[in-house]
Structure 1
Amino acid sequence: MTLLELRLKPLTDRQLNAVVKLDQLCLGGLWSQEGYRRELNSPNSELLVLSVLGNRGSPPKERIVGIGCFWAILEEAHITILAIHPDCQSQGLGQVLLWTLLQKAVRQKLDRATLEVRASNQAALSLYQKFGFQVAGRRKKYYQNNNEDALILWRGGLQQKQFSQLLDRWQQQTNEKLARCGWRLENGDRKLKA
């Protein structure tokens, strides 16, 4: 089986339209194009896109399949977005984004990570729990489109030696899952540069 190559890089201006479309599809339009542009210009924002070159059986064309973002606030990485195109879910791509965001948080000397997730989103909860996030609270009726509660998840100890060892193990597990699903992360055999 030929593996499709994934690229994980910071968002660029030329990708804004594609990212807004992915946001619309996955998150119902959480951020507008202007919102993403603000994030691009913010020194406290880490905004990544995961893209693939081509589709199986079609001519090469870069297609954005994932987005991830965190805000660096004091010692905390507040993960604001983690979304994967519905056609590519459950194939390790969310793990790639989350692993990379956590790695970047460590390199920025942040000590903990937090996020909100829909209480009913079992796939996302499973992913976050796999990476050691725990429920720290609940925001009642947080999501305006259906008044669903959000769970507040928290992960501490990012600067501890044990966490670096976990990152190494998660990277290996993630690369193995990607390969099983037909993907290969560009530079996936090496640590991504911050």
Structure 2
Amino acid sequence: MMDGWRVEAMTEESIDPVVAIETASFLNPWSKLCFLEELSFKDSHNFILKLENSIQAYQIVAYLCCRVLVDELHILKLAVHPEHRRKGIATGFLSHCLNTFGTQQIKTVILDVRSSNSAAIGLYQKLDFQIIGQRPNYYFDTGESAFLMRKIY
């Protein structure tokens, strides 16, 4: 990662800023309770990205929630604070996290993404994910389809 950035495990103490990013990022955001429950699962791996600011403090600007099932990593959530988007942060953060998992016998990474979310689709394709299927009416709020994307190591 770049200077001034730190990747850390998500903890209960980091949930409130994560929920704020989640709420600003998704039509149907996870609640604080959802994130707390996710932290409790043994196969869950959750990360935050902190940016050092001018007063030598760190601000959470992104997060990633995923689960490992045998040799497959399933990305559940990835979001960057709206003020920090379109700066390559998601690419660097996700790439860093995937490289970490690459040493742990992961053979496949999968995720679902809104079919209209061209920015996210472009991000994943840049990191060698491919669309391998479509889930019709996946999102209950709009009835929109999701693309199933996969990266094979």
TM-score of the aligned structures, taking structure 1 as reference length: 0.73
Q: What 5-or-longer segments of structure 1 have no aligned partner? A: 159-194
- Structure 2: how far apart are the matches of 1:47 and 1:29? 19
Higher relative contact order structure (alpha carbons within 8 Å, sequence separation ≥ 6): 1
Q: Are 2:128 and 1:132 equivalent residues in the alignment?
A: yes
Q: Is the 8 A contact 2:111 2:149 kept in 1?
A: yes
Contact 1:48–1:67 at 8 Å: present in 2 too? yes
What are the Cα deviations for residues 97-129 of structure 1, in whole angstroms up to 9, with x where unaligned?
211231132122110000001111111111111
SS in 2 for 1:148: coil
- The alignment status of 1:47 with 2:57, answered yes or no, reads no
Q: CA distance change for structure 1 residues 76 and 146 in 2, over 3 Å: closer, same or farther?
A: same
Aligned residues: 152
Amino acid at match of 2:113: V
Task: Rate the CA distance shift 1:83–1:141 in 2: closer, same or farther, 3 A.
Answer: same
Alignment of 1:137-156 (within 5 A): 137-156=133-152
Larger radius of gyration: 1
Q: Which runs of 5+ in 2 are unaligned?
A: none
Identity of aligned residues (%): 28
Match of 2:92 among 96, 102, 106: 96
Residue type of the alignment partner of 2:105: K
Please tell me whether the aligned partners of residues 82 and 97 of structure 1 are also in contact (alpha carbons under 8 angstroms).
Answer: no
The aligned runs of 1:6-85 (5 Å cut-off) are 6-54=5-53, 59-85=55-81
Structure 1 residue 53: Cα displacement: 2.4
Report if aligned partners of 2:28, 2:141 keep a CA contact under 8 Å in 1.
no
Tell me how large the CA RMSD over aligned residues is.
1.7
User: TM-score, normalised on structure 2?
Assistant: 0.91
CA contact (8 A) 2:131 2:149 kept: yes
